[in-house]
Amino acid sequence: MTFNGQHIRMAGLFFVQALSRGILLSVIPLQALSIFGDAQTTSVLYFAVSAGGILAALGMPALIKTIGNYHVFLLGSLLMLISTALLYFNDPVYFAIGLFCHIFSIAAIEVSLTLYVLARIPRKELTQFEPLRIFSSVLALTIGPFLGVLMEARLSHESPFIFSAVCVFLALGYFRILGLNRVQIRRSGSSDMNPLQYISAFIKQPRLRLAYGLVTARSCWWAMFVIYTPIYAVQVGLGELVGAAIVSLGTAWTLSVPFWGWFGRKYGVQFLLKLGFITTSILTMLVYSATSIPILAASLMVISALGATMLDGMGNVLFYRAVRGRERSEMTAVFATYRDVSQLAAPGLYAILLQVFALPVVFISASAWMMVASWYCKYIPKQMR
């Protein structure tokens, strides 16, 4: 496998930017648990904040048309800095506002960077670039969770938040070194920036619906993994550091993403996605069966992340292949809501289930929707396989 120099440089930006939020990936849910007291209340908070994040993402086309893609990226970076300051305080109000700023900043940065990818990377090279982008992003999310909790435990409470802020500034500098601030992103020619209009246009396109559904299923599993694995570890007595280590070890499978990208190009996107969904579903079901044996459940949780990493091998390629050039801004904004929808759907579902069932219910439900997603892979059109 050979890598294009431009691809590597571009992927480097995704690494630095992802590290700014990866360092807080386990710190945030653990702090939420500390502030609010239980997994159910934490789920309700994530549900409410993610609902606001969806509205923020849908407003991105209007914002891009008004101030331009470059300034949307700058705004997202500014809000990430603000969120690090607010999340530092052990105050419910500041924490909730900080979490919303965090979610909004991720939406703004993701939409703007996706448009830069579509502008800078030729369409025929996307299947080579996407595994490298995912590798760089998830590598940061592998290093970040354990490092963040370790820094908080061994150095100081504020250290992971300061580190996150430093990474934001590094990403801004790297962004300018790449010259992306000079790249012209074509703004939408439509005068109608009503989100309902481009949501409707998105829904009317089966290929976009399918790409959205499959990536949301994948993202919902990762949301479950990131939020509830540390909480499970704390509840069964393994401790915060072990919970963060499980998240980091699980995401460490990112080292195999370039291989899965090659595998998908050789054997087909459909085969890889179906294999990934089925593998993740079966292994997560085994986690549920082993929750009475914490060490075994934790080990299986790490292994189950391998299946989800198979899915990361193709990243957002289905969307890239389906989106029309003239609709990139609007359709990207709708597609980008998958992250917030997953952050909303998983905690929303669990906020209901945890009223009746114990915490292990999160694992069996995650297994179920991944198996359903594997069935939907049969609808991937031949030209997109």
Considering the entire predicted model, what is its pTM? 0.71
Residue 159 in contact with residue 41, Cβ under 8 Å? no
**Structural domain containing residue 314:** 5-183+193-384
User: Which pair of tokens denotes residue 72?
Assistant: 């949307």
- The C-alpha atoms of residue 61 and residue 119 are separated, in whole angstroms, by 16
CATH code for the domain of 166: 1.20.1250.20
Please report the pLDDT score of residue 93 as a whole number.
86
Quickly list DSSP for 249-293.
HHHGGGGGHHHHHHHHHHH-HHHHHHHHHHHHHHHHHHHHHTTTS
pLDDT one-digit tens code per residue, 112-144: 888 888 888 877 777 778 778 888 887 887 788
Q: Is residue 299 in a domain? A: yes
Q: Is residue 209 in a domain? A: yes
> What average pLDDT is seen over the chain?
84
Please report the pLDDT score of residue 104 as a whole number.
87
CB burial of residue 89 (10 Å; 0-12, 13-18, 19+): middle
Residue 144 in contact with residue 19, Cβ under 8 Å? yes
Please report the pLDDT score of residue 277 as a whole number.
95
CB burial of residue 103 (10 Å; 0-12, 13-18, 19+): buried
Q: Is residue 188 in a domain? A: no
Mean pLDDT of 355-383: 88
Work out the angle between the directed axes of helices 328-335 and 60-67 (0-180°, nearest 10).
140
- The C-alpha atoms of residue 36 and residue 370 are separated, in whole angstroms, by 30
Q: Is residue 159 in a domain? A: yes
- The C-alpha atoms of residue 44 and residue 59 are separated, in whole angstroms, by 23
CB burial of residue 12 (10 Å; 0-12, 13-18, 19+): middle
Please report the pLDDT score of residue 192 as a whole number.
55
Sorting pLDDT into bands at 50, 70 and 90, what band is 275? very high
Is 188 a residue whose pLDDT tops 70? no
- The C-alpha atoms of residue 232 and residue 225 are separated, in whole angstroms, by 10
Give the SS3 label for residue 193: coil
Is 362 a residue whose pLDDT tops 80? yes
Please report the pLDDT score of residue 164 as a whole number.
92
The angle formed by the CA atoms of residues 320, 305 and 84, to the nearest 5 degrees, is 75
Of 102-106, 137-141, 227-231, which range is least confident?
A: 137-141
Please report the pLDDT score of residue 78 as a whole number.
95
Q: How far is CA 277 from CA 230, 248, 382, in A?
A: 23, 21, 19
User: Which pair of tokens denotes residue 86?
Assistant: 């607010």
Highest mean pLDDT among 11-15, 57-61, 118-122: 11-15
Q: Which of 307, 312, 302, 303 is nearest to 277 (CA)?
A: 307
Is 77 a residue whose pLDDT tops 90? yes
Is 214 a residue whose pLDDT tops 90? yes
Sorting pLDDT into bands at 50, 70 and 90, what band is 244? confident
Please report the pLDDT score of residue 22 as a whole number.
86
Q: Is residue 198 in a domain? A: yes
Q: Which of 165, 280, 150 is nearest to 219 (CA)?
A: 280
Sorting pLDDT into bands at 50, 70 and 90, what band is 212? very high
* Domains: count for the chain: 1
In the chain, the amino acid numbered 109 is: I
Please report the pLDDT score of residue 187 as a whole number.
57
pLDDT one-digit tens code per residue, 289-338: 998 898 999 999 999 999 888 888 777 788 888 877 677 777 877 887 88
